[in-house]
Chains A and B, each alone.
Chain A
Amino acid sequence: DAGVIQSPRHEVTEMGQEVTLRCKPISGHDYLFWYRQTMMRGLELLIYFNNNVPIDDSGMPEDRFSAKMPNASFSTLKIQPSEPRDSAVYFCASKWGATGELFFGEGSRLTVL
């Protein structure tokens, strides 16, 4: 398997624009997580899904952020409108089972000017 695949790897956009980050989890995994990493706040859990259903979205910063998982092989994280403080590396990760090993993608580095 190719591992968790995220796109784009890098995105530079202007404040107010919509940003969509994409993730393809490892085939067969039933959990999918979105994390955000910044120097100031470390690695924050934004939302996670189990069997395509959002289980906990309490980490989503505000209504500008939304995440979907329309099927077992694809998830998106959308920011609309984007703001400079959203600049961070966004990681998608997946695993099989509640105690399985969590595999991370390479991350999407977002810069909002």
Chain B
Amino acid sequence: GEDVEQSLFLSVREGDSSVINCTYTDSSSTYLYWYKQEPGAGLQLLTYIFSNMDMKQDQRLTVLLNKKDKHLSLRIADTQTGDSAIYFCASNQGGKLIFGQGTELSVKP
């Protein structure tokens, strides 16, 4: 069945790069997304990548997609304390969005 998996925690120092990884099982996923959740709030879209791309860059964010291995990553350059949040990857399967468990990113000054 559909499954999206992420590691649960990541801790980095301010100014370092953060890399959050995700694997998914459904090869028919057309779009893959990264969402950010701040405490007490809903999820907000950060960026997305179409399944026929292997990389997308958007300011400090770089998304890499390895479709053969069904692996998605989000790199945040120059991580700031304001980036501390939970990051979710999600795959779009015919309109339905399936989310991973979320990776809690902690940025230490």
Contacts and interface: CB of A to CB of B under 8 A. Distances in A.
Nearest to B102: A42
Given A42-B101, A43-B101, A99-B30, A107 B96 contact: no
Given A98-B92, A99-B30, A99-B92, A33 B97 contact: yes
Contacts of B34: none
B42 A93 contact: yes
Given A91-B42, A99-B30, A102-B45, A45 B97 contact: yes
A103 B37 CA distance: 12
B41 A42 contact: no
A6 to B, nearest CB: 9
Nearest to B44: A104
Interface string B12-51: 0000000000000000001101000000111111001000
B98 interface: yes
A101 B98 CA distance: 13
B77 to A, nearest CB: 23
Contacts of B94: 98
Contact of A107 (B42, B48, B92, B98): B42
A50 B97 CA distance: 13
A86 B31 CA distance: 31
Given A91-B42, A93-B42, A102 B97 contact: yes
Interface of B: 30-31, 33, 40-45, 48, 88, 90, 92, 94-102
Interface of A: 4, 31, 33, 35, 41-43, 45, 48, 50, 55-56, 91, 93, 98-99, 101-102, 104-107
Given A43-B101, A98-B94, 12 more contacts: A4-B42, A31-B95, A33-B97, A41-B101, A55-B96, A98-B95, A99-B92, A102-B90, A104-B44, A106-B40, A106-B42, A107-B41
7 contacts: A48-B95, A48-B96, A50-B95, A102-B33, A102-B97, A104-B44, A106-B41
